[in-house]
Amino acid sequence: MQNNIFSGLFVGQNFITLKEVDSTNNFLKDLLSNSKPLMEGTVIMAENQYAGRGQQQNGWHAQPGKNLTFSMLLTPRFLAITDQFDLIRAVSLGVFDALEPLLGNKLKIKWPNDIYYAGYKLGGMLIENMVQAGQIRNSIIGIGLNVNQDSFPQGLSNAISIKQILHADYDLKALLSEICRHIEAWYLNLKAGKVSFVRDTYLSRLYWLEESKSFRTEKGIFTGTIKNVRCNGLLVIENNNGDELEFRLKEIEFVH
């Protein structure tokens, strides 16, 4: 379905809205499993996503009609499997660039791909890559962003919405259009080979970069400083002994 709210070259040019779905990522996967080819940049937006997922099967809570819950299809076949974290970087930067004019310098990207404002979680994403014959065939990017929600369950004390920050409702489709435009721009930077630019910019916007903070691993809590993110996405933290430690997702927890 063509929709003129999107100004990009291809992201959002095929736009499908749903009243309710378990997960926009699942819906997009089902579409892909059909025989008819699906246009790159297809965006699926749901008013109510009742089984949204975060990284490692974490749940995502969103009030119906108040927030952005959507998925997009990209086909980054130019990207080596060993460099798939660069897609996480590009998408995170796109969301950041759409929000930064609204929210200013308290906005950060929390490794690997959460969006934080002043220490509170504003949104996150789940990227599912479909690999065939050693190549990324399709990537489904699911994004959840707290926009007009007034309050959150007690168990989500670290959540915040744009409305809670700006004290005003924000137009969901206008924001969706901006996010898609900026994700497309960063994705095209990646496709054009500007990998160092993408990696350096992602690092510069990282939450807790070069700050002495507490982290938890299976061995306990330690104090360290985020120094880098490796090409493959491993987080590099320097401990008080000057040792550089590398961590995968779920191996490290930020202690607030």
Residue 214, φ and ψ in degrees, nearest 5 = -95, 140
Number of Cα atoms under 13 Å in the Cβ half of residue 191: 11
Residue 1 has pLDDT above 80, yes or no: no
Tell me, what's the pLDDT at 108?
98
Residue 24 above 80 pLDDT? Answer: yes
Q: Provide the token pair at 246.
A: 């590398």
Average pLDDT on 53-80 reads: 78
Q: Give the pTM.
A: 0.93
From first CA to last CA, the distance across the chain in angstroms is 44
Question: What Cα–Cα distance (Å) separates residue 195 from each residue in 6, 89, 127, 183?
Answer: 26, 10, 19, 15
Q: Answer whether 74's CB lies under 8 Å from 180's CB.
A: no
Chain segment 85-134, per-residue pLDDT in tens: 999 999 999 999 999 999 999 999 999 999 999 999 999 999 999 999 88
Please report the pLDDT score of residue 154 as a whole number. 80
Query: At how many degrees (to 10) do helices 85-103 and 195-204 cross?
Result: 50
Is 15-204 in CATH node 3.40.1190.20?
A: no
Task: Write down the pLDDT at residue 254.
Answer: 97
Residue 145 pLDDT greater than 50, yes or no: yes
Domain boundaries, the chain: 15-204, 212-255
CATH class held by domain 212-255: mainly beta
